Amino acid sequence: MSNSPGTFLGMPAFPEAAREAVANRTLRGNLRHATHTIRAKRAEAVAELADWAELREAGKRIKDHTLRHLDRYLVQLEESVTAAGGIVHWAADADEANRIVTELVKATGEPEVVKVKSMATQEIGLNEALEAAGIRAYETDLAELIVQLGKDRPSHILVPAIHRNRGEIRDIFAREMSEWGRPAPEGLTDTPAELAEAARLHLREKFLRAKVGISGANFMVAETGTLVVVESEGNGRMCLTLPDTLISVVGIEKIVPTWQDLEVFLQTLPRSSTAERMNPYTSTWTGTTDSDGPGAFHLVLLDNGRTDTLADEVGRQALRCIRCSACLNVCPVYERAGGHAYGSVYPGPIGAILSPQLRGTGSDIDASLPYASSLCGACYEVCPVAIDIPEVLVHLRERVVEGGTVTQGGNKVVLGPAKGHAAERAAIRVAGWVLGRPRALRSGQRLASRSRRLVPRKIPGPGRAWSDSRDLPTLPAEPFRDWWQRTNGGKDGAK
């Protein structure tokens, strides 16, 4: 449930949500097992390629080039899709995208749709919008099915049900499947094979009955108008080929100029996400063809804050993201807090920089996300398109603390300084004044050294939140400058 596109209803700021999640031992155990397993397999898969660094740099350059010329490539994509028999719709925000898709489904007269896993449709709350119009949407990705049946929220980009263990999944299937269609088999156990078979039988009747499919896309190729979905289960192939009508909702940043560019990402994405050399199912479609696949194809190009993000020279690199989830699997904060604490369909390090840019930093949760990181840099090291997430986090922290003017929805919005940062702003101003005056700095250093025994280990007052998990560094008995003058006279260098 959400009260605005992509924001979970009633979501507190990250520190409060994370505190509750960290106290859940079952959740932490599930996350630790899953993320450690995925990251180890990914490391092995990446190590097989001697040119991984070159592929990473190539992916970065392709994405940066495309973003610099996004207007031109989007027009080319529209022309290519239209020439191939598809229809292109432009959606400035979530409400417009939901309206377009709802009207398209209503025009078919169908009361239900099947869906390929799509983060863009989760971002805009499409399932809820369809439900409000009397249309039922069925998730067909196994993990998304678990989340939907459990009346839950996704907590990982690649594995949305990563917070669930096999016993919990068995209970969800046994309890909920009958309400959505074919019930779970009697005596269902928690073995992976039985759980997968129960899901397959449950979904098969929906695939064969559905007349409308809804998808996202991993990539869009401008030169041919081709869309690409990569997946591991085959549910995507069923949704993309069996229905009479296919509607794809895709963020405008998912475009690549040519098929040759696509070659790079079809090597880096599977190894970074599922630790596979290639995805078991790579589905591509270009418009419509007679007697093969859907007879009607609609592409909804979604902005929803992306052009605003593009205007930020530092923050725009978040739009390179290919949704591999490698950054989540190495993040020590995500491993302990889980995805729900981020209050967005985009959790983890990438969500901490993407969500505040797409949604703005006006809410408590969005203002807190740039701080949901230790800045250890592990996320940057594994990113297959070299997004410098720590750099963007620091950049967004500055925006939160200082406020200022940003562009949201095409309009200039003035953001006041964030609440709760008055002490931080005051400390920075004092530090700036002192550091700009050498005599004041030296006097302050001497005073601090002489009173070092009176300095507490924790910061009192507003700074306590920072020092709850950190000890203040011990002050030296003598400032460095005084030691330098006393031992060397500041002339001969250290001895």
Which tokens is 18 given? 């994370």
**Residue 149: per-residue pLDDT:** 95
Question: Which has the closest alpha carbon to 359: 300, 419, 420, 318?
Answer: 318
Tokens of 120: 């863009």
Task: Answer yes or no: is pLDDT of 415 > 80.
Answer: no
Alpha carbons 73 and 52: distance in angstroms, whole number: 27
Per-residue burial over 241-259, b if 16 or more Cβ lie within 10 Å, else e, is ebbebbbbbbbbbbbbbee
pLDDT digits (tens, 9 = 90+) for 32-85: 999 999 999 999 999 999 999 999 999 999 999 999 999 999 999 999 999 999
What is the distance between the alpha carbons of residues 92 and 75, in angstroms, rounded to a whole number? Answer: 15
pLDDT at 109: 97
Q: Give per-residue pLDDT as tens, 340-371.
A: 999 999 999 999 999 999 999 888 899 999 99
Q: What is the pLDDT of residue 94?
A: 97
For residue 6, pLDDT beyond 60? no
Kindly state the percentage of the chain with pLDDT values over 90: 71
- The reported pLDDT for the residue numbered 102 is 98
Instruction: State the distance between the two ends of the chain, measured CA to CA, in whole angstroms.
Output: 66
Q: What is the pTM of this model?
A: 0.84
* CB-neighbour burial class of residue 324 (10 A; exposed 0-12, middle 13-18, buried 19+): buried
- pLDDT at 339 > cutoff 90: yes
**Percent helix / strand / coil, the chain, rounded to 5:** 55, 15, 35
Contact assessment for residue 370 and residue 396, using Cβ atoms and an 8 Å cutoff: yes
281-286 vs 226-231, strand pairing mode: antiparallel
Burial 359-369 (b: 16+ CB within 10 A, else e): bbbebbbbbbb
Confidence (pLDDT) at 424: 67
Q: How confident is the model at residue 412 (pLDDT cuts 50, 70, 90)?
A: low
Residue 90, beta-bridge partner list: 301
Residue 217 neighbours by CB distance under 10 Å: 25
* Phi/psi-derived region of residue 414, left when phi > 0, alpha when psi is between -120 and 50, beta in every other case: beta
Note whether 277 and 45 are within 8 A (CB): yes
Section 307-334 average pLDDT: 96
- Model pLDDT, residue 448: 85
- The arithmetic mean of pLDDT across residues 239-248, rounded, is 96
Which candidate, 242, 250, 376, places its Cα nearest to that of 323? 250
- What DSSP letter does each residue of 227-251 carry, written as one string? EEEEESSSHHHHHHHSSSEEEEEEE
| Residue 284 pLDDT greater than 70, yes or no | yes
Q: In the prediction, which pLDDT does 491 show?
A: 61
Q: Per DSSP, which regions of 15-148 are E strands?
A: 87-91, 112-115, 136-139
Write down the mean pLDDT value for the chain: 90
CA angle 64, 67, 69 (to 5 degrees): 110
Residue 4, pLDDT score = 40
- How much is the pLDDT for 8? 53
Q: Are 162 and 34 in contact (CB under 8 A)?
A: yes
Could you give the angle at the alpha carbon of 447 between the alpha carbons of 443 and 449, nearest 5°? 120
Give the pLDDT confidence score for residue 484 in this predicted structure: 85
Task: Give the integer Cα–Cα distance in Å for 23 and 71.
Answer: 47
Question: What's the rounded Cα separation, in Å, for the pair 323 and 268?
Answer: 11
- Give pLDDT, residue 47: 95
Reduced 3-state DSSP string for 46-67? HHCCCCHHHHHHHHHHHHHHHH
Edge-to-edge, what's the strand order for the sheet holding 245-251?
Answer: 87-91, 296-302, 245-251, 212-215, 112-115, 136-139
State mean pLDDT over 3-20: 68
Q: Show the beta-strand stretches assigned E in 119-258.
A: 136-139, 212-215, 219-221, 226-231, 245-251, 255-256
Averaged pLDDT, 383-395: 97
